[in-house]
Amino acid sequence: MAKKKPSDIDRVVQKAADAGVRLIRFLYTDNGGITRGKVTNVTRLYDRICDGIGLTVAMQAMNMLDQLAPVEGMGPVGEIRLTPDPATFRVLPYADKAAAMTVDMLKLDGTPWEACPRSFLKRQIKAAADLGIALQMAVEFEWTMATKQPDGNYVPLDETLCFSTTSMTIAHQVILDIVEALEAQHIPVELYYPELGHGQQEMTIHHTDPLAAADHHVFTRETIRNVAYKHGLYASLAPKPFLDQAGNGGHIHFSLWDTKSGRNLMYDASGAYNMSATGMSFIAGILEHLPGLLALTCASYNSYHRLQPHFWSSAYTAWGPDNREGAVRVASRYKSDEEGTANAELKAADLSMNPYLAYGALIVAGLDGVRRKLNPGEPTLVDPGNYSDAERKKLGIKRYPTSLKETVDALEQDKVLTGALGPLLTASYTAVKRLEYQTFSQQDDTYETKHHFWKF
């Protein structure tokens, strides 16, 4: 493994000194989808970037309830190194004298640990590049803002309407602070609006390459939660924080670009909906692998409360142009840049995902479709939930698995996805998710929402 150029490290140390930073967070996101980390004093920054910070191997067997799942080799013995990517350094606008970087999990010999999610994503980016494809990705952030009552219950920030200007007024100051905090971290915000659910907000950030997009995902989630907290609010990015309200999606947008010509490979002016054959095959791969892919993109017990028909979250293996009830929506292009704006989104995704695993698995599924030249079949032009069972059967449209347990089973059966994850990541991820399912399925809805509310 090539040593990082000293100049990269020097640059980060200098930046930290210039900004008066004292504490630098090394952030990783685990198999439970939780972002955790360790913090170095600035006095030790140079060495910690070179060597990383030690972490017990057991953390990749820990679920979102801090329960340790039984995974061979992930117990009290053994250690890895949280080794930061200097390119991700940013001063945190919401924490005094603090900065952060995202990390790779490396073995003591400096090579990527087989259970490292960020290294998994890097491998899939490489697999795409080997086919001449460079992806662009971005996630849409939906979240619910709430206050916490003395009895511990959360109450939505408002009870206003979808896209309501009243809601904009109520949330204005916190939203402004979130936008400015993201921009200060060089994360380009595109749009903001109040969403359908009480207290629900949505913000979109500009697409970039998958690794930077996943890093942005982590920093954006951190920023939304932390800035809201400074305003005395709780920002829940859980899939269904209030069971009687609209859920929070984390729709993943993607487009494919030719590594040589720089052209958008998904765009074909003569194709249906201007979508190329390659784009169609990529979508077909996602649909084919969807049952197992869901275990990674809709990754929590709470996710399956969100994925209901007629909630605009998608519940069926359908695709269509601007169809917001299909698993994959082919987005309409914008006239100012027809080619540049050709993209599709996976609606069956929420922010309890580990972005490195979810984006990586989406790439695996899509590339399988491209390699096999799969065809997604006819588009669905209506809400697939309005068809009868017989009609859906005839059209080959299937309801998603309705629990985390079923999708984890499907993931284990999916040799393409597990082949790319490798044995250790597959074993640890499925064990963590099974333990989450086992615990939550023995409890009631109140326990479920309480324990998901502020984890993501």
- With CB under 5 A as the contact rule, the residue among 30, 202, 350, 414 that binds Mg ion is 202
* Closest chain position to ligand GLU (CB): 249
Q: C-beta of 211: minimal distance to Mg ion in Å? A: 25
Q: C-beta of 418: minimal distance to ligand GLU in Å? A: 27
Distance CA(219)–CA(211), nearest Å, equals: 12
Scanning 28-36, 79-87, 129-137, 305-313 for contacts with ligand GLU by CB under 6 A, the matching segment is 305-313
Q: Pattern of binders to ligand GLU over 386-425, x per CB under 6 A?
A: ----------------------------------------
Q: How far apart are the first and last CA of the chain?
A: 33
- With CB under 6 A as the contact rule, the residue among 231, 324, 399, 450 that binds ligand GLU is 324
Q: Interface with Mg ion includes 158 (CB under 5 A)?
A: no
Distance CA(216)–CA(211), nearest Å, equals: 9
Q: Round the CA-based radius of gyration of the chain to a whole number and report it.
A: 21
Q: C-beta of 247: minimal distance to ligand GLU in Å? A: 4
Q: Interface with ligand GLU includes 312 (CB under 6 A)?
A: yes
# binding residues, ligand GLU (CB under 6 A)? 9
The burial class, CB within 10 Å (0-12 / 13-18 / 19+), for 199 is buried
Residue type, 21: V
Q: Which is nearer to ligand GLU, 331 or 395 (CB)?
A: 331
Binding-site partner at residue 360 among Mg ion, ligand GLU, none, CB < 5 to 8 Å by type: none
- With CB under 6 A as the contact rule, the residue among 30, 142, 325, 368 that binds ligand GLU is 142
Token pair of 224 as six digits: 């939304």
Q: C-beta of 146: minimal distance to ligand GLU in Å? A: 16
Q: C-beta of 274: minimal distance to Mg ion in Å? A: 23
Q: Which is nearer to Mg ion, 163 or 334 (CB)?
A: 163
Q: Which is nearer to ligand GLU, 278 or 303 (CB)?
A: 303
Three-state SS string over the chain comes to: CCCCCHHHHHHHHHHHHHCCCCEEEEEEECCCCCEEEEEEEHHHHHHHHHHCEEEEHHHHHECCCCCECCCCCCCCCCEEEEEECHHHCEECCCCCCEEEEEEEEECCCCCECCCCHHHHHHHHHHHHHHCCEEEEEEEEEEEEEEEECCCCCEEECCCCCCCCHHHHHHHHHHHHHHHHHHHHCCCCEEEEEECCCCCEEEEEECCECHHHHHHHHHHHHHHHHHHHHHCCCEEECCCCCCCCCCCCCCCEEEEEEECCCCCECCECCCCHHHECHHHHHHHHHHHHHHHHHHHHHCCCCCHHHHCCCCCCCCCEEEEEECCCCEEEEECCCCHHHCCCCCCEEECCCCCCCCHHHHHHHHHHHHHHHHHCCCCCCCCCCCCHHHCCHHHHHHHCCCECCCCHHHHHHHHHHCHHHHHHHCHHHHHHHHHHHHHHHHHHHCCCHHHHHHHHHCCC
Q: Interface with ligand GLU includes 320 (CB under 6 A)?
A: no
Q: Which is nearer to ligand GLU, 113 or 319 (CB)?
A: 319
Q: C-beta of 142: minimal distance to ligand GLU in Å? A: 5
Q: C-beta of 243: minimal distance to ligand GLU in Å? A: 13
Q: Interface with ligand GLU includes 313 (CB under 6 A)?
A: yes
Binding-site partner at residue 313 among ligand GLU, Mg ion, none, CB < 5 to 8 Å by type: ligand GLU
Q: C-beta of 248: minimal distance to ligand GLU in Å? A: 6
- With CB under 6 A as the contact rule, the residue among 84, 117, 194, 247 that binds ligand GLU is 247
Q: C-beta of 163: minimal distance to Mg ion in Å? A: 10
Q: Which is nearer to ligand GLU, 249 or 291 (CB)?
A: 249
- With CB under 6 A as the contact rule, the residue among 249, 291, 326, 379 that binds ligand GLU is 249
Q: C-beta of 349: minimal distance to ligand GLU in Å? A: 8
Chain positions 42 to 71 lying near ligand GLU, rule: CB under 6 A, are none
Within 13 Å and on the Cβ side, how many CA atoms surround 314?
30
Scanning 74-82, 168-176, 245-253, 275-283 for contacts with ligand GLU by CB under 6 A, the matching segment is 245-253
Scanning 76-84, 201-209, 278-286, 398-406 for contacts with Mg ion by CB under 5 A, the matching segment is 201-209
Residue ranges binding ligand GLU (CB under 6 A)? 142, 246-247, 249, 306, 312-313, 324, 347
Residue ranges binding Mg ion (CB under 5 A)? 202
